[in-house]
Chain A
Amino acid sequence: MALVLIGLNHRTAPVNVRERLSVPEAKLPEVVRSLHAIEGVDGAALVSTCNRVEAIISSRTEDVITKVVDWLAMQGGSDRESLENHLYILRHVDVVKHLCRVASGLDSMIIGEPQIGGQVRSAFQAAQDLGALDGLLQQVYAQTMRVAKRVRTDTALGEHAVSIPFAAVELAKKIFGDLKGLQVLLLGAGEMGELTAEHLHKQSVKQVFVANRSFNRAVELAERFHGSAVQFDSIEENLATCDIVIASTAAPHYVIEPDQVRRALDARRNRNLFLIDLSVPRNINPDVAGIEGAYLYNVDDLQHVADANLELRQHKAKDAEQIVVREVEDFRKRLVAQDAVPTIVELQQRLETIRAAELEKCLRKLGPITAEQRLAIDLLTMQMVNKILHYPILQLKDVSDEPDRESLRNTIRKIFGLRA
């Protein structure tokens, strides 16, 4: 049984090629059905994200590869030759390794990005729902998701933010833990500030207050976060009630001074205050960082956090790669052992049939013999058959990674006259 993956990704194909092949979620069942309908395809699944399109198929022959490439070219509305320059074709255990890496986020543009695991799961689940996964692909699916889960659990690969807004959210969690119930104050309407507030809003913070020199703009932004607009002059009052402050104004001077923060912390009964200064020139006096209970991060600090996290992810990716290699090797051994079972069973049945028939003939020729004698002959023939089968079975069960395993199996089948 051949397992093949044919696809392209952000490294092999530019966006204008990827976008032509990309399949919207709503159309996925129809496209998978059409892939599964190709003659010779036993099982099929299609992973389609903004960075990759990959067809995973199982088939009895490799001849089907050409047909699938043609099918992909047809899907993308391009000619086969130009598409082939962007395609990679993986076989057997390399397919499993690739899928495990993809689902773990190791093959992503940003290492460890968490969405891809869910996207791979959805792709296989869609194929499963359509009945397009055969036994082999079901095993591949289970193994892929198992490895992805193990990588995330054991290495926490995707847990560290690698962008400034996410780094701010990560730090907020390090200070406050659960962000639910917290209040956020956004000062100004800078792009990075908006993005950070949006990420915090997605973490289900209790409320976002927006203060801007232009009150109308503040109202507009507050609506986006289902929050409230406040007057820019009332910053100090809001410092006392808000837990996270994002400063992102175009003001050329400080808008928050240490005394304001001290008074706010007194009013907060020393509950911590996280201040994020995303503006250049800075909006929060850096002396605020020295006040107990106040944690101040400017844009450089957050960039350092993001850079350190990226480095950490790259370090963890090495551990993750090792996990993938070990798991894929285990899977390969299981597959080899599984593939050998029908041949071993047939081989044993075949020789047992010969033994039984020859024994019967021999007994007829011998005439009457005692039960003990019959038992001795029976035992002798059984031992002979077992000894003859010993090395062929050993070879069939050998799970070492040899490329000519299939031909060895076929040779044994041929020698012993088993069905092709």
Chain B
Amino acid sequence: MNFDATDTIYIALALYALGTLTVLVSLIGKSMRLQHSALVIMIVGFGVHTMWIGTICARTGHPPITNLPETAAFLSWTIFAVELALWIRYRVYAAAFFVYPLVLLLLVVTAVVGEPFAGLPPELRSTLFTSHILLTILGVAGLMIGLAFTVLANAQDKALRSKQRGRLWEWIPSLNVCKVLSYRSLAIGFSVYTIGLITGVMWSYRTNAGPMDLRVKQVGAVVAWMFFAALLQTYISGGYRGRRTILISAGAFVAIIISIMGIARV
């Protein structure tokens, strides 16, 4: 059996699966040591994942953004990179319970769909298009992390209000940190995502002489944008908290996932 450099994606997948399993076991066993082990495993997986992305870039001459598996893998990588940066800065452990499974899920999509790598068609070889994809993915990563912290903030608020500590109590940072991180991730993610969508529309104008097609991907992206705008508005107006925030977050998450799944081929 020949081992190709692109097969490293399966090693990354196995490591992410192991890291996710470890982090979930640490939640049951309330073990900080296991949490650290999970992080180390995920970082190794991230390293292998980075090598895979490097290989794709070297072979095709562009980032892995041409089809669903590539985009899912790239999004998964970006989400973990953002999570890692936040962990280094704030040492927040609880986000791992949401982020690791998401990272794993996205890479599973890559492995299951498994389309061959392709060079970009000539019409897609433009800075505008690459910027659109990169900015959108970076924006989505920020928004996903923002959602994870929104959920954590909500869990912390509930625990403090009910005076009953839940299973996550020890892992979740202060309510203030959750809210600040959630707001910042959403604000930055939303801004980048918006620019990403605008560049997409501009590219569409340039190539199709029209705004854009209205397929699942595009509709999902716009609906997600509206949900995130509403979520951000609740933060800015100080109306954050409670059921409403969680419902908007869930809507935003579903819209984003539909949008990602709608990527068949660019």
Contact = CB atoms under 8 A, between A and B. Distances in A.
Interface of A: 153-156, 171, 173-177, 269-270, 272, 289, 292-293, 295, 297, 301, 304-305, 308
A272 B32 contact: no
A176 B156 CA distance: 11
A301 B163 contact: yes
B165 interface: yes
A176 B163 CA distance: 16
A154 B29 CA distance: 12
B58 to A, nearest CB: 41
A270 B238 contact: yes
A292 B242 contact: yes
Contacts of A301: 163
A173 B174 contact: yes
Contacts of A304: 163
Which residue, of A171, A272, A293, A297, has the highest number of chain B Cβ atoms within 10 A?
A272
Which of A155, A177, A269 has its CB near the most chain B CB atoms (within 10 A)? Answer: A177
Given A174-B174, A175-B175, A177-B176, A295 B160 contact: yes
B152 to A, nearest CB: 12
Contact of A289 (B161, B173, B240, B241): B161
Contact of A154 (B32, B175, B238): B32
Interface in B196-243: 238-242
Contacts of B89: none
A175 B176 contact: yes
B237 to A, nearest CB: 9
A72 B176 CA distance: 53
B33 interface: yes
Given A153-B32, A289-B161, A269 B173 contact: no
B118 interface: no
The list of the 10 closest CB pairs from A to B, nearest first, reads A177-B174, A270-B238, A177-B176, A177-B177, A176-B176, A175-B175, A295-B160, A154-B33, A292-B241, A301-B163
B160 A171 contact: yes
A284 B242 CA distance: 24
B28 to A, nearest CB: 14
Interface in B145-191: 156, 160-161, 163, 165, 170, 173-177
Given A289-B161, A301-B163, A174 B32 contact: no
A304 B163 CA distance: 9
Contacts of B31: 154
Contacts of B156: 174
A293 B238 CA distance: 10
A272 B161 contact: no
Contacts of A155: 32
Nearest to B172: A174
Contacts of B242: 292
B165 A308 contact: yes
